[in-house]
């Protein structure tokens, strides 16, 4: 495929930025163009068969380089959706050291906050010793959002509502009125 240098730059920038209009601005002289004109020109470029083929080729290369596949994305969704917070703690209820947290749980952790609290003192037969205490908080990824995404992928929810009507229960007059309201039958002397 023979692209011009500007078309090639556009394709590269589009993959990098994910924004066709901005990729166009960075590849062509668009300083005097309105946003609408820039968007239209970028859309025309993306519709060009040679440019579209190059963009698809670059997407494939990009995905392979980052090992992004549908299966991998679904696996990560599953990790987030089915993470069990209990696996991050030992049998006594203490947070495990980070290197001991299982990979599937670590992948679901969005953040860890560790706050050192005011030190206290402990008095025992051995003497007085300083006691450090910490507050440890785990923040997990949005489980509901992840489950919703998985359910949508699996086709569990639909955005359309199927409406049915039982015409057999309608009288002839009701059917004629319905047909007229829909423009199917017009006039008083219709065959219905």
* pLDDT tens, position by position, 28-43: 999 999 999 999 999 9
* pLDDT tens, position by position, 105-118: 998 888 888 776 76
Q: Is residue 89 part of a domain?
A: yes
Tokens, residue 149: 């995404």
Does residue 82 sit in the same domain as residue 124? Answer: yes
Does residue 79 sit in the same domain as residue 61? Answer: no
Calculate what percentage of the chain has a pLDDT beyond 90.
34
Q: Which domain holds residue 57?
A: 5-65
The per-residue pLDDT for 111 is 86
Q: Is residue 70 part of a domain?
A: no
Does residue 46 sit in the same domain as residue 81? Answer: no
Tally the domains of the chain: 2
Rounded to whole angstroms, the Cα distance separating 172 from 191 reads 12
* pLDDT tens, position by position, 150-176: 777 777 766 665 556 677 777 888 877
Q: Is residue 122 part of a domain?
A: yes
The per-residue pLDDT for 188 is 58
Task: Among 15, 32, 65, identify where a domain stops.
Answer: 65
The per-residue pLDDT for 3 is 93
Residues 6+ apart with CB under 8 A from 13: 22, 23, 26, 27
Does residue 52 sit in the same domain as residue 80? Answer: no
Q: Is residue 32 part of a domain?
A: yes
Task: Among 108, 124, 141, identify where a domain stops.
Answer: 141
The per-residue pLDDT for 6 is 94
The average pLDDT across 117-129 equals 73
The confidence band for 60, taking pLDDT boundaries of 50, 70 and 90, is confident
Q: Is residue 127 part of a domain?
A: yes
Identify each DSSP E strand in 8-167 by its residue range.
109-116, 120-124, 127-131, 134-140
Task: Among 65, 83, 104, identify where a domain stops.
Answer: 65
Q: Is residue 150 part of a domain?
A: no
Cβ proximity of 133 and 122 under 8 Å: no
């Amino acid at each position: 495929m023979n692209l011009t240098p500007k078309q090639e730059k556009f394709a590269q920038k589009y993959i990098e930025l994910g924004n066709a209009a901005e990729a166009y601005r960075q590849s062509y002289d668009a300083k005097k163009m309105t946003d609408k004109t820039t968007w239209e020109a970028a859309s025309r470029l993306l519709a060009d068969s040679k440019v579209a083929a190059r963009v698809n080729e670059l997407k494939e290369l990009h995905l392979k380089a980052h090992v992004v596949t549908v299966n991998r994305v679904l696996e990560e969704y599953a990790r987030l959706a089915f993470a069990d917070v209990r696996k991050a703690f030992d049998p006594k209820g203490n947070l495990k050291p980070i290197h001991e947290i299982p990979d599937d749980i670590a992948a679901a952790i969005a953040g860890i906050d560790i706050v050192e609290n005011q030190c206290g003192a402990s008095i025992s037969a051995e003497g007085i010793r300083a006691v450090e205490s910490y507050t440890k908080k785990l923040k997990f990824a949005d489980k509901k959002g992840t489950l919703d995404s998985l359910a949508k992928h699996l086709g569990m929810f639909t955005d359309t509502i199927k409406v049915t009507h039982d015409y057999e229960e309608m009288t002839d007059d009701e059917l004629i009125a319905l047909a007229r309201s829909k423009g199917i039958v017009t006039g008083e002397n219709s065959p219905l």
